Amino acid sequence: MERTTSRLSFSSRSSSRASEHRNHDLLLPCTEKPTEKRRPRIRAMLGHCIYRKVLIWTVASLVLVAVILFRGKDVSMPDVVQYGKSKLSPSHEAAGDDNSNGDDDGESGHAIVVMVQDDAEEDSEQGVEQDVEQGVEQDVEQDGEQDVEEVEVQEQFEEQVEETPNVEQQELSEEERQKAVFDEQVEKMPWLLFKHLDGYFHGLKALVQKSHHIPEYPNRNREAPFPPPPLNYHVSKPRPYDPYTLPHNARTCYLDRGNTVRPPAIYAYDGVPQHMPDPVLGSYALFGIRDDVCFDRFGRYGPYGLGYTKVYGGLGVGMDTENSGSQAVWAETGQLDYNNVDWGDAQERCSAANKHRFLEPDEETEELPTAPDEREGKKDRIAIVVRCYQGFGWTELAVLNFRAMVTELSLKSGGEYTVHLLLHVRDTNLPIWADDVTAQRLLDASIPAEFHGMVTLWSEPQMRLLYPGHFPAAAQNPSGGDVHGVYRSAHMPLQVFAMQHPEYEHFWNWEMDLRSVGNYYELLHGIGSWADKQPRSLLWERSARYYIPAYHGSWDNFTETVQMDTMHSGEKTILGPVAFAGRKPLRDEQRGQPVLPESCAFGQDPALCGVGEAADLITLNPIFDTKDSGWVFTDDLTGYHEPTSSDPPRRSSIVTVARLSRRLLAAMHEEVWRHHHTMFSEMFPSTMALHHGLKAVYAPHPVYFDRAWQPLGSAVDDAFNSGDDHSTSGRHSVFDMSNEHNHKGTSWYYHSEFAGLLWRRWLGYAQMDGRGQHGSAGTERGGVFEESSSDGSGRMCLRSMLLHPIKYERPSEQS
Ligand SMILES: *[C@@H]1O[C@H](CO)[C@@H](O)[C@H](O)[C@H]1NC(C)=O
């Protein structure tokens, strides 16, 4: 944990540059896509059955896509057509991955802590191109133990490949061909036949109070779709939205050094559009997130520069969209001029002003105090570590999202959270650690000037230097990546970041392609406090299941259901560290330090065990047992002697967005440097929590569906808790490659198509609705004309929700 880094001081430069860059290229010259470098190594590809499959699938996907593109229609819908398309591009972790590249240091907004750099790895495992490949592989690659199934899947696919040309030879009409493709897809994805929901797209003229709100879905009394709701032409004004309850000793933070400009509030409308659906997975009430208000694009982003030009300090986006009544969001503050804001500096001033409220590491040990009297009345600080990479295409809307994060999480909370950008330097030839000018150039080319003060750099060679020694080959390596590479070990730079930042107790691993419709603080604070309150008993079991209110009813009933399912399964429940052949202890354990809190001691009420103990891991998808799950990366584990299907026991959670405690990251760090253990990025944190008895929680945040799954409740439970004992674990898991498609119509999954569609329409851009015959692109809906039309319902307004992945925002960005 020595700082293995040299520190280069950048701060002053970055702030002064902020202003120079305010022309259109402020948003990065760097738009090149990191996608095209990977060249397949033919010999390797043919030499290994995985690669062979990749090849076959790739060819097959290409053929499909080609057919669709050349003969079919537009492909921008959340539908079948896209499914074919996404075979090529996404990867499971595409999201995670892209994101996993960054680094920043923020030690302070002013310094860039540079970690090391080193030889250039092959491009082969870098980001997106890799994602591409892995996407294919993931789709292709079944789990090794399921050879039979694997072969079947492969055969099916080969058949498809052969069939496709036939279809063409027979000169089917366009429509017949589409129908054939659609029928085939429906066979695999029966949910494609469910009715689309309309309620998301009703606008401000359809607002009703929550007490009068009738969700289009889930709804026991009436089946979707519903006809349009009545309109009200007097839309009431949005109001500043304040989810903060700060203590009296909290000091106000400001955007400027002179402490004159307060960070603005976002605005919400009272009520929700009539017939907006309710979430299908998860809940608002659990987290205390309000669901009786909605946010339009101007209330959400107007305060940060949406809807006015750069001349006035805005970003010049959103001006081509419907905007009636939007001025209300600037009534109190005016349109703020963001042209000279230095966000890193603003965060630091904010933390400094509020230093008295937070726990600080001891100067000698660099450890945060643990004794109750030392902690009295003080809070832990939390870092949001956003993973970015050199070559990421920054846009105005990405900048808005970032301003929202810093304002809502850091400045408005009085420094409880601090946002960092962890920038993955992919070009390992750049002497950024040796030369300030090179480093500054890299920054200028990679990150908008206003965020320079939040950046920490890292590179893969640096990880090889920090975690040296022999890492034996993994049991399986479906992605073919390097063990120190970002795709397989996105956690490594996060571990290092945590070791270099003793001031934080928790770290949110965050990604660039996430968007929050509501306030970030309300969301993360709600999730964090709820997770900390969860009891340890049956926590792993609950966390392995999707919570589906239309099926489970209340959370208490869900809890009971889990208890029953677990009892019937006859499986042992998990509490504390697990034993398995070849398990290796950590130093803390060898020193006899207990891992369970006092509330779990003998003689205490088991129902209170862990209540109030900060969660070591909070995930946003269930934490499933990978054994027999069919999840592609199940056997990508390194350094264990017995990598059989169950030994060591493993857990994983898809999408690497998660809150990790310092304790968990320290455990992961030690396992890597000391035992040379590591696992695929999505599996390592939850598995380490399992092995070492740490508190891991899946937080069922609200997730929406694009279609009305029927029968109500049971259809979703059957598909999403389809694994062992009504969970996401084990055989028939929804995370099996052949079942993951169920997530495509949801608002949260690495390859969700609904998330982007909903987001872009909410931003005011027309989108194809995917409702054409046989699943074709359908018609263009939304956008400025529809939202402005006098008989339309107006501008969209959505409840708070987290969306992923958002791969592009403005239609012009679609590649
Ligand atoms: C409780 O959950 C079970 C599912 O296990 C469900 O069948 C039942 O209807 C639920 N009860 C209530 C009152 O919601």
529 lines ligand 1 (CB under 6 A): no
646 lines ligand 1 (CB under 6 A): no
Q: Distance between CA atoms of 744 and 662, rounded to whole angstroms?
A: 33
pLDDT at 71: 52
Q: Distance between CA atoms of 681 and 692, rounded to whole angstroms?
A: 18
Q: Closest ligand 1 atom, CA of 561?
A: 5
Q: In this structure, which residue's CA is closest to atom 13 in ligand 1?
A: 553
Identify the burial level of 797 via C-beta atoms within 10 angstroms of its C-beta, where 0-12 means exposed, 13-18 middle and 19 or more buried.
buried
714 lines ligand 1 (CB under 6 A): no
Q: In this structure, which residue's CA is closest to atom 10 in ligand 1?
A: 552
Going from the Cα of 710 to the center of ligand 1, the distance in angstroms, rounded, reads 17
Going from the Cα of 499 to the center of ligand 1, the distance in angstroms, rounded, reads 45
SS3 14: helix
165 lines ligand 1 (CB under 6 A): no
Q: In this structure, which residue's CA is closest to atom 5 in ligand 1?
A: 561
Q: In this structure, which residue's CA is closest to atom 11 in ligand 1?
A: 553
Q: In this structure, which residue's CA is closest to atom 14 in ligand 1?
A: 553
Output the pTM of the full model: 0.82
Q: Distance between CA atoms of 390 and 443, rounded to whole angstroms?
A: 9
Token digits of residue 271:
């009520």
The conformation of residue 573, written as its DSSP 8-state character, comes to P
pLDDT at 646: 67
Angstrom distances, CA of residue 610 to CA of 368, 606, 664, 666: 20, 9, 16, 20
Going from the Cα of 557 to the center of ligand 1, the distance in angstroms, rounded, reads 6
Going from the Cα of 629 to the center of ligand 1, the distance in angstroms, rounded, reads 26
Please state the separation of Cα 142 from the chain's center in Å: 24
Going from the Cα of 718 to the center of ligand 1, the distance in angstroms, rounded, reads 14
557 lines ligand 1 (CB under 6 A): yes
pLDDT at 263: 98
553 lines ligand 1 (CB under 6 A): yes
Q: In this structure, which residue's CA is closest to atom 4 in ligand 1?
A: 552
721 lines ligand 1 (CB under 6 A): no
552 lines ligand 1 (CB under 6 A): yes
According to DSSP, the residues that pair with 418 across neighbouring strands are 383
Going from the Cα of 556 to the center of ligand 1, the distance in angstroms, rounded, reads 10
Contact yes or no for 91/135 (Cβ under 8 A): yes
Pairing of strands 111-114, 707-708: unpaired
Going from the Cα of 643 to the center of ligand 1, the distance in angstroms, rounded, reads 38
pLDDT at 117: 30
Quote the percentage of the chain above a pLDDT of 70: 79
Only one residue has tokens 């000279």, namely: 340
pLDDT at 65: 60
Q: Distance between CA atoms of 52 and 523, rounded to whole angstroms?
A: 44
Mutate to test the pocket of ligand 1, among 551, 559, 712 (most ligand atoms within 8 A of CB): 551
Residue type, 815: S
Contact yes or no for 432/457 (Cβ under 8 A): yes
Quote the percentage of the chain above a pLDDT of 90: 73
Q: Distance between CA atoms of 667 and 685, rounded to whole angstroms?
A: 9
pLDDT at 124: 32
Contact yes or no for 538/559 (Cβ under 8 A): yes
Residues of the chain short of pLDDT 50, as ranges, are 1-26, 28-54, 72-167
Phi, psi of 157 (to 5 degrees): -70, -40
Mutate to test the pocket of ligand 1, among 546, 548, 552 (most ligand atoms within 8 A of CB): 552
Going from the Cα of 554 to the center of ligand 1, the distance in angstroms, rounded, reads 8
Q: Distance between CA atoms of 290 and 313, rounded to whole angstroms?
A: 31
Q: In this structure, which residue's CA is closest to atom 3 in ligand 1?
A: 552
pLDDT at 169: 54
Going from the Cα of 553 to the center of ligand 1, the distance in angstroms, rounded, reads 6
